Amino acid sequence: MKTLQFREAIQQAMSEEMRKDDSIYLMGEEVAEYNGAYKASKGMLDEFGPERVIDTPISELGFSGIGVGSAMIGNRPIIEFMTFNFALVGIDQIINNAAKIRQMSAGQFPCPIVFRGPTASAGQLAATHSQAFESWYANCPGLKVVVPSNPADAKGLLKSAIRDDDPVIFMESEQMYGDKGEVPEGEFTIPIGVADIKREGTDVTIVSFGKIIKEAYKAADELQKEGISCEIIDLRTVRPMDYDAILNSVKKTNRLVVLEEAWPFGNVATEITYQVQDKAFDYLDAPIVKINTADTPAPYSPVLLAEWLPNHEDVIKAVKKVLYK
């Protein structure tokens, strides 16, 4: 095992795959000369050259379309968005072309492409740069949506995403790039669609993903002092979702809290809630509680932003609510 920053794990995954397959290239704003907006492609221009590490103009629609077209004729592009907020400019290429071309061409054109970059809030970036898009893309058939929460998962899942023959939305966070964690050395992949039990427990299941899962860890530490044992599941992949991991945990703990940084209407937590009540209703000893952001655009004010975001105190309250404490 080696300790790496999140950004280093991303860089390693891309570089290792590019060394093995000349059809893989990286394209996006500032990925080359600047070593990436968050230094997640540091040194890659020097190693692979300007034909495979490609700086683009500020034109997400344009370079997303180039990526989709090149994937249809045999390449495996990695398209980096400086933030998925900017991907809204190119979302037509993702939803109407990347996600649908295999079906619309009767299987003649696969689309092995990775769209990656940060999602959700990252401090005082205000309303238009603080949106969580996981549920948006997960709603679209034809896309896989991956949201790792630590360096090891980031590396293993990104390598699997690059090898996948279908389009993968790979979501990161500006606030995680400096996070450090142990990452296995050598060949290492994690299959897409498999959740991970990060902490075993007996009293309540907490399901989360991405950077907000850190608030679940904080809450679990505090609750442990009160004798409350929390099982924490990191989805890692939002679509396809590992429903079995969630259901098996709920059948053991009989209680469920879902923590997600997203607006409350029609999100990933809503889907989990429906699936659990449909397939494990008789195992529940309390109504499911989901924790989300406030139902407003993200505020710029630090005081308001702190109130807008879910935190570990919200998780503690939710756990005690399902335990009737």
* Distant-in-sequence, close-in-space partners of 310: CB < 8 Å, separation ≥ 6: 212, 215, 259, 260, 261, 291, 292, 293
Point out the domain boundary residue: 183, 206, 230.
183
> Does some domain include residue 77?
yes
DSSP 219-256: HHHHHHTTT--EEEEE-SEEES--HHHHHHHHHHHS-E
Domain with 13 in it: what CATH number? 3.40.50.970
Task: Give, rounded to a whole angstrom, the gap between the first and last alpha carbons of the chain.
Answer: 41
- Per the confidence metrics, is the pTM higher than 0.85? yes
Q: Are residues 179 and 221 in the same domain?
A: no
Residues 167, 24, 131: CA angle, nearest 5 degrees: 45
How many angstroms from the chain centroid is the CA of residue 271?
16
Point out the domain boundary residue: 183, 207, 225.
183
Domain with 57 in it: 2-183
For residues 292 and 55, give the distance between their C-alpha atoms in angstroms, rounded to a whole number: 36
Which of 126, 124, 172 lies closest to 150 in space, CA to CA? 172
> Does some domain include residue 189?
no
> Per-residue confidence of the chain (325 residues) as pLDDT tens digits?
999 999 999 999 999 999 999 999 999 999 999 999 999 999 999 999 999 999 999 999 999 999 999 999 999 999 999 999 999 999 999 999 999 999 999 999 999 999 999 999 999 999 999 999 999 999 999 999 999 999 999 999 999 999 999 999 999 999 999 999 999 998 999 999 999 999 999 999 999 999 999 999 999 999 999 999 999 999 999 999 999 999 999 999 999 999 999 999 999 999 999 999 999 999 999 999 999 999 999 999 999 999 999 999 999 999 999 999 9
Catalytic residues: 60, 129
User: What is the Cα Rg of the chain in Å?
Assistant: 20
Point out the domain boundary residue: 157, 183, 209.
183
